[in-house]
Amino acid sequence: MDRINRLIHFERWSDRKNDYARCHAPRAAATALLARVGEWLFPALSGVVNAPTLRPDGSLLDQPGYDPATGLLFEAQGVVFPPIPEHPTRAQAEAALTFIGQEVLAGFPFAEPSDRAAALSALLTALIRPALRTAPMHTFDAPHPGSGKSLLADVVALVATGNTAKVMSFTRDPEEMRKRVLSVLLQGAAVVNLDNLEEPLQGAALCSALSQTSYSDRLLQYSRTISVSTCCTWLATGNNLQVIGDITRRCIPCRLDAQCEHPEEREFKRDLYDWIPRHRSQLVTAGLTILRAYLAAGKPKQPMKALGGFEDWSNTVRAALIWLGEADPNVGRAEFENADPDRLKLRALMTAWYATFKSAGATSKEAVAKANETRINDQGDEERCYPDLWEVLNDHFQDRSGKVNGNAIGYFLRKNQRRVEIGARFEIAGGNTKGNLWRVAIVDQRRFVPFFDDAKNYSLPETSLPSLPSLPSLPIYDRHQGRDGRDGRDVTPRSENFAVSKKQTGF
């Protein structure tokens, strides 16, 4: 509308003036123009940046104004950026890395070298986000408030944009989260921070925003769906941050640990909120020098595993840091995965299932019945025949009445079928009138055995008769020793609703 009004002089008849008077362009004219996609004579705008950046082909975008190759508008906003070398050397890249590390990151208590690398990764990612198809979220985590998590998030934004990060609150409500993600993307925020998370980070909306180039949803108060670019750098901060589900593979963790009771009392070398804006041009140049040097060197292959869905980021930002001797910023992601409750639940069920059924198949209802089997030990006490299976089912699959729900087990198995975890996976081994038969199939013996070492001791031989004192060789589970005993105790499996007493067995 603004461009139309500047180029065309519109008038409308005024009864009061008894003459034509200048007016704004009619909405119908603007609507008609917008509908003529493909016929416009003016260039399409994909975004606005206020610092030099890289194009997807790795070339420098350092001239203010509109860039036809990318559709980006570079507005320097009065900042004069030093020339960025087109072909910087490795030595220049190392000097640039040292400058950022000493002047900006030196005061942060990174727990491991990979955490410092993750912080550098966040900064470099924000600088060249328009050049990357997708980019992972960077999380800043600490065991104690006041460790510098939010400051580090703002440092990333201040260097890349000159402003602090756009703060967005997180909610576990999927519908509300979808609205918030769409809203912040519509605003065109370059760096978004989910600040001070107090609940686990999860959700399909964030997963979509991180792994897709565009995000679609229904526009609030309108009955139409719109699609918006996901070109922004996502950050999240929290104390002992927990990440759940599919988003674990989309996060690069950075952990801060001041190892003191009052980390907020530590003194930084300088006030970064004041210092960075005054030296931002140098920091931007340093960051782009690091990346350009790696590209100019021919992008030498680095000793790292691929990261599916974020290949551009991995082959540029991550690889450049490893090339310069930094730790792999992706190393800490394994901690998120190993602490993910969904993964732990699947692993626990898998090991308990295999300990009980080995490679045979069983329905979810058969698993519940098996978990409820008990026996009388030599002290006359009742104990579980399959304690691991019973514990897993009762910990994760109880309904509101406190009973294990076989349907919930079946749903979980269907959702995770053929998903490889700890070297094994659940597969359908057939079916009967009671449902699918599920079995654990081992696909990597070396990976599975360490997880199964403890669980395998709980598998008992099936028998329909009580063990007699004259047959001491039958193996039975010793819950105190954690291994099979050979003392001839009663190992009769039975259902919880069928009591077996000493009087009935003759013991």
pLDDT digits (tens, 9 = 90+) for 13-34: 888 888 898 888 888 877 887 7
> 269 and 106 in contact (C-beta within 8 Å)?
yes
Confidence of residue 381 (pLDDT cuts 50, 70, 90): confident
Check pLDDT > 90 for residue 206: yes
Co-location of 286 and 386 in the same domain? no
Given this model, what pLDDT does residue 1 score? 66
What is the tens place of the pLDDT at every residue in 152-196? 999 999 999 999 999 999 999 999 999 999 999 999 999 999 999
Residues 25, 15 contacting (CB under 8 angstroms): no
Mean pLDDT calculated for residue range 353-378: 92
pLDDT, tens only, 273-324: 999 999 999 999 999 999 999 999 999 999 999 899 999 999 999 999 999 9
State the helix-helix crossing angle for 341-357 and 445-452, rounded to 10 degrees: 90
- Does residue 80 sit within a domain? no
Q: 300 and 284 in one domain?
A: yes
Give yes or no for residue 223 having a pLDDT over 70: yes
- Does 383 map to a domain? yes
Q: What pLDDT, on a 0 to 100 scale, did the predictor assign at position 129?
A: 98
The whole-number average pLDDT for the span 393-418 is 93
- What integer pLDDT is reported at residue 451 of this predicted model? 75
Q: Report pLDDT for 184.
A: 95
Amino acid 35: pLDDT: 79
Task: State whether 22 and 115 are in the same domain.
Answer: no
Considering the chain, what is the average pLDDT of its residues? 86
Q: How many residues does the chain have?
A: 507
Residue 297 lies in a domain: yes
Helix (H), strand (E) at residue 354: helix 341-357
What band does 340 get if pLDDT is binned at 50, 70 and 90?
confident
pTM, two decimal places: 0.78
Q: Is 56 within the bounds of a domain?
A: no
| The pLDDT of residue 267 | 85
> Between residues 454 and 404, which one has the greater pLDDT?
404
pLDDT: is 339 or 239 the higher one?
239
Range in 3-12, 176-185, 405-414 with the lowest mean pLDDT:
3-12
Q: Are residues 205 and 251 in the same domain?
A: yes
% helix / strand / coil in the chain, to the nearest 5? 40, 20, 40
Share of the chain above pLDDT 90, in %: 68
- Specify whether 430 is located in the same domain as 355: yes
417 & 476 share domain: yes
Q: Is the pLDDT of residue 385 over 50?
A: yes
Residue 65 lies in a domain: no
Residue 70 domain flag: no
Other C-beta atoms within 10 Å of 322: how many?
18
Show which of 272, 307, 338 is a domain's final residue.
338
Bridge partners, 485 (sequence order): 476
Residue 490: name the closest of 301, 309, 394, 501 by CA. Answer: 501
Percent of the chain beyond pLDDT 70?
Answer: 88
Domain total of the chain? 3
pLDDT tens string 438-450:
999 999 988 888 7
Taking the C-alpha atoms of residue 136 and residue 324, their distance in angstroms, rounded to an integer, is: 21
Q: Are residues 416 and 440 in the same domain?
A: yes
| Residue 108 belongs to domain spanning | 90-338
Single-letter code of the amino acid located at 223:
S
The CA distance from 355 to 390, in Å, is 12
Q: Which of 123, 121, 111, 201 is nearest to 147 (CA)?
A: 111
Q: Is residue 334 domain-shared with residue 372, that is, in the same domain?
A: no
Q: Is the pLDDT of residue 333 over 70?
A: yes
User: Which of 284, 308, 338 is the C-terminal boundary of a domain?
Assistant: 338
Q: Between β-strands 233-239 and 137-142, what pairing exists: parallel, antiparallel or unpaired? A: parallel
The residue-averaged pLDDT of 78-107 equals 95
Q: Are residues 194 and 223 in the same domain?
A: yes
Residue 48 lies in a domain: no
Question: pLDDT tier at 453 (50, 70, 90 boundaries)?
Answer: low
Q: Provide the β-strand partners of residue 12.
A: 21
At 433, the pLDDT band (50, 70, 90 cuts) reads confident
Q: What is the per-residue burial (b if ≥16 Cβ within 10 Å, else e) of 81-102?
A: beebbeebeeebbeebbebbee
281 and 402 part of one domain: no
Cα–Cα distance for residue pair 315/128, rounded to 1 Å: 13
Are 1 and 116 in a shared domain?
no
Domain end residue (candidates: 293, 309, 338): 338
Q: Are 232 and 185 in contact (CB under 8 A)?
A: yes
What pLDDT, on the 0 to 100 scale, is given for residue 15? Answer: 86
pLDDT of residue 187: 93
My answer on whether 152 and 277 are in the same domain is: yes
**CATH number of domain containing 166:** 3.40.50.300
Q: What is the pLDDT of residue 403?
A: 92
Q: Where are the beta strands (DSSP E) in 146-291?
A: 166-168, 191-197, 214-218, 225-229, 233-239, 251-255
Question: Is residue 75 in a domain?
Answer: no
The pLDDT score that the predictor gives to residue 498 is 34
